[in-house]
């Protein structure tokens, strides 16, 4: 679901908004016709339904979910809209972003997000499991940081180094520092090659 929010929203708020909108009646059926409303409606893939207060719900089948979700997110971001993914229970805000243009968030369950917002990165790190066995922030050709369940952190900028941390909050702190260009996580932990 995509909609306009003046400020970034948390996952709980996005989920509650989605559930409330799902209970409402759509303002129209599937549509991609010219003059049919906000420009974003015409650009979105899948089955699109508009709801009151500018909420737009995009339905898609599971086989094409990853590809279509990426397209919906790209379109939503281009229009400055929040995007909530109910399958993964993740919210994509327009900001705040990291400092590396083109940085990608990769997950073990197949999600790839270009220029992820920092709140999404925090939320994704909380989903590490057997179904989502890693999360990585990647700046291709430069460096990356990744983590797997058990909180084994790996960082590569030339040489691959590893450390294990005890708490999810420390993983989130390291990822946030990495995304914002701060390398404090490198001196805070003991790393091995």
DSSP secondary-structure letter at 64?
G
How many CA atoms are closer than 13 Å to the CA of 47, on its beta-carbon side? 7
pLDDT tens digits for 147-160? Answer: 999 999 999 999 99
Mean pLDDT across the chain: 91
Max distance between CA atoms of the chain, in angstroms, equals 59
pLDDT tens, 47-106?
899 998 899 999 988 888 888 888 899 899 999 999 999 989 999 999 999 999 999 999
Q: Model-level pTM greater than 0.85?
A: yes
Vertex 66, ends 63 and 70: CA angle to 5°? 140
Between vectors from CA 98 to CA 4 and to CA 131, what angle results, nearest 5°? 80
Q: What is the pLDDT of residue 29?
A: 53
Give the pLDDT score at 62: 82
> Which pLDDT belongs to residue 34?
35
E strand intervals along the chain: 2-3, 47-51, 55-59, 82-85, 90-92, 104-107, 112-114, 135-139, 143-148, 152-157, 159-164
- What average pLDDT score do residues 97-122 get? 94
Residue range 105-114: mean pLDDT, rounded: 93
User: What is the Cα gyration radius of the chain?
Assistant: 18
The pLDDT assigned to 89 comes to: 94
Percent above pLDDT 70 for the chain = 94
Would you kindly state where each structural domain of the chain is located, as residue ranges?
1-94, 95-193
């Amino acid at each position: 679901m995509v909609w306009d929010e003046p400020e970034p929203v948390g996952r709980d708020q996005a989920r509650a908004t989605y559930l409330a909108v799902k209970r409402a009646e759509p303002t129209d059926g599937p549509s991609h016709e010219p003059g049919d409303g906000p420009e974003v409606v015409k650009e979105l893939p899948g089955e699109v339904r508009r709801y009151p207060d500018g909420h737009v719900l995009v339905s898609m089948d599971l086989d094409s979910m990853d590809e279509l979700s990426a397209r919906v997110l790209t379109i939503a971001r281009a229009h400055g809209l929040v995007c909530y993914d109910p399958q993964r229970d993740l919210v994509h805000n327009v900001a705040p972003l990291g400092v590396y243009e083109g940085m990608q968030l990769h997950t073990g369950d197949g999600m790839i997000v270009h220029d992820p917002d920092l709140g999404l990165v925090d939320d994704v790190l909380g989903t590490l499991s057997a179904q989502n066995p890693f999360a990585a922030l990647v700046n291709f050709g430069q460096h990356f940081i990744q983590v797997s369940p058990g909180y084994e952190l790996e960082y590569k900028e030339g040489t691959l180094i590893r450390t294990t941390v005890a708490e999810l909050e420390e993983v989130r702190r390291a990822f946030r520092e990495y995304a914002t260009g701060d390398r404090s996580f490198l001196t805070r932990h003991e790393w091995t090659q």
